[in-house]
Structure 1
Amino acid sequence: MSENQSPMEPIDDIDPDDPYTLTAPLEIQSVLRNIKLSKSLVHVYVLGQEASAITTVLDVDSKENRLIVDSFNDPMVTQQVQRARKLVAQVTLDRIHVKFVCPPLAPCEFEGKPALQAAMPAALSYLQRRDAYRIETPVVNPVICTITLSEDTKTRKVRLPLADISIGGIGLYDEQQLPEHSIGTIYEDCQIALPEVGNLTAALRIQHVTDQTLTNGKTRLRLGCAFVNPSNSAINMVQRYVGRLERELLAKKRGFV
């Protein structure tokens, strides 16, 4: 927390007054050490950009008040992360969703290998809700959500790629194909083809909408959508698919793929 920041103000988007937020340094360090011991994958997002990366916690140095994480495989992503003013890190630990704002990362060495370091986070969200955790879906061969639109006496199908998924809902990319993007809009009977899991049918409600500018100068919308009264079978399908993605990411991180 900066000297000019009131103790009652949120620390970026982590609210210190939320009952699920930890602000005591020893509690934060304990959670981070458990993440290290479990070798859980940490998803790091650059806010306001599409850049993201996966890492693991290597060390929680309480004496130097620093967190050390493994270096990233992609040099371009590493540069984006190091230049970023604000990063958000997310990880699941024993089905508990952990989230914290990560201070700027700087290169360092840990046990003779390249690594990244940052000051210890000032606050950490520790929320036991599986639906709070989202995982990015593949960019190559993306997961597709098919939405059927009724227009006068005709129907039209719109196929939109997923950005991410959780049991709470999905993120979609839309290049102005849907007729309505207002928050609260509900699209019924949406079909989501989950690879190696099956076809999921659910109603989607738009929760938030953001504009994104692509590298080619074009713009698209990112729609955050919640499942509306999903069935138990739909939730189970999402859980199986999320578990599959997590196993694939872990295998890539360990060099098995």
Structure 2
Amino acid sequence: MDEAELEDWHDYEVASRREIVSLLRQIGEHNQLIRLLIRGEADVCVTSILAVDEDSNTIVLDRSVDPAQNQRMAGAARAKCETTLDKIRILFGAANLAPTVWRGEPALRADIPPTLIRLQRREYYRMATPVTNPVRALIPVPMEDGTGGMSVFALHDISVGGIALLDSKLLLDTTVGRVIANCRIELPEIGPIATSLEIRNSLDLTLLNHKTTRRIGCQFVDISRSGLAAVQRYITKLERERNAKLAGLA
């Protein structure tokens, strides 16, 4: 998970080793599918926990059906894992991924994470927005001549509590607590919603093409009930699409 997520969700961080081991074992026993993100949404593997070995401080993960992806996973210093347990979203890091053998079959091992995030409140459940059909946010940005104008930003993810957007041109003032009024978010197949946005955090990222962008976490302010309902409908739509995709890959 990235720094911005940890900042947003530190209240939901689990640091007890006993509890972490118990949660990981439950995820394995329930055969919960895990989205393992090697390089963000650009490289995603669907896996599961095969075993948790507390003595060696490792978890054993199932391998991908794609040999090339297995090589990329084994070469990754750290990956991000997302799953659910009893309808609670769980995020944790998988460090030191390496090939191993489990019950005579190839597998992957990783360190037991020192902490994990357990999100029990629905409003903190974030859904990554599509890369191929990005959601647009129209936000007022002061122009060089002193006039105001609307600039378009692509969303990174969305929740009922807010959004994260990508500011590749570094147009926005990222002062934490600053509120931007008169913003509009265009939700595909749902429609536009109007809201103010409060800046909560920002993180500069380096993309695979070596270009840089800025991820800005924003909280909804003064959003209407109908606007929140539209956001929830869009999140539900994304969930259905993702679940259908995971079922097809399982």
TM-score (norm 1): 0.73
1:128 pairs with 2:125? no
1:147 aligned to 132, 139, 146, which one? 139
Alpha-carbon separation, structure 1, partners of 2:50 and 2:76? 22
Match of 2:59 in 1: 67
Give the CA deviation at 1:55: 2.5
More displaced, 234-243 or 60-69? 60-69
- SS for the counterpart of 1:140 is coil
Counterparts in 2 of 1:40 and 1:242: CA distance versus 1, 3 Å: farther
Match of 1:5 in 2: none
Counterparts in 2 of 1:72 and 1:230: CA distance versus 1, 3 Å: farther
CA contact (8 A) 1:145 1:193 kept: yes
Give the CA deviation at 1:61: 3.8
- The structure with more helix, counted as a fraction of residues: 2
CA contact (8 A) 2:129 2:157 kept: yes
Alpha-carbon separation, structure 1, partners of 2:69 and 2:157? 19
1:162 pairs with 2:155? yes
1:195 pairs with 2:188? yes
Give the CA deviation at 1:89: 2.5
Alpha-carbon separation, structure 2, partners of 1:66 and 1:195? 42
Give the partner amino acid of 2:46.
T
Q: Deviations over 1:151-210 (max 9, x none)?
A: 689542211111111222211111226352322222213211222333222211122222
Alpha-carbon separation, structure 2, partners of 1:84 and 1:120? 16
1:251 pairs with 2:244? yes
Give the CA deviation at 1:139: 0.9
Give the partner amino acid of 1:55.
V
The total of aligned residue pairs comes to 241
Counterparts in 2 of 1:247 and 1:76: CA distance versus 1, 3 Å: farther
CA contact (8 A) 2:92 2:116 kept: yes
Instruction: Point out where structure 2 has 5 or more consecutive residues left out of the alignment.
Output: 1-5
TM-score (norm 2): 0.75
1:85 pairs with 2:113? no
1:228 pairs with 2:231? no
Alpha-carbon separation, structure 2, partners of 1:22 and 1:212? 26
**Percent of matched pairs sharing the same residue:** 37
Alpha-carbon separation, structure 2, partners of 1:212 and 1:34? 33
Bigger RCO (CA 8 Å, 6+ sep): 2
Alpha-carbon separation, structure 2, partners of 1:185 and 1:40? 40
Alpha-carbon separation, structure 1, partners of 2:163 and 2:175? 16
1:97 aligned to 86, 89, 92, which one? 89
Counterparts in 2 of 1:189 and 1:153: CA distance versus 1, 3 Å: same
Alpha-carbon separation, structure 1, partners of 2:238 and 2:106? 26
Alpha-carbon separation, structure 2, partners of 1:36 and 1:247? 23
Counterparts in 2 of 1:114 and 1:142: CA distance versus 1, 3 Å: farther
Q: CA RMSD in A?
A: 3.6
Match of 1:178 in 2: 171
Alpha-carbon separation, structure 2, partners of 1:177 and 1:24? 40
Counterparts in 2 of 1:138 and 1:34: CA distance versus 1, 3 Å: same
Give the CA deviation at 1:229: 4.1
2:206 aligned to 202, 213, 222, which one? 213
Give the CA deviation at 1:65: 5.7
- SS for the counterpart of 1:92 is strand
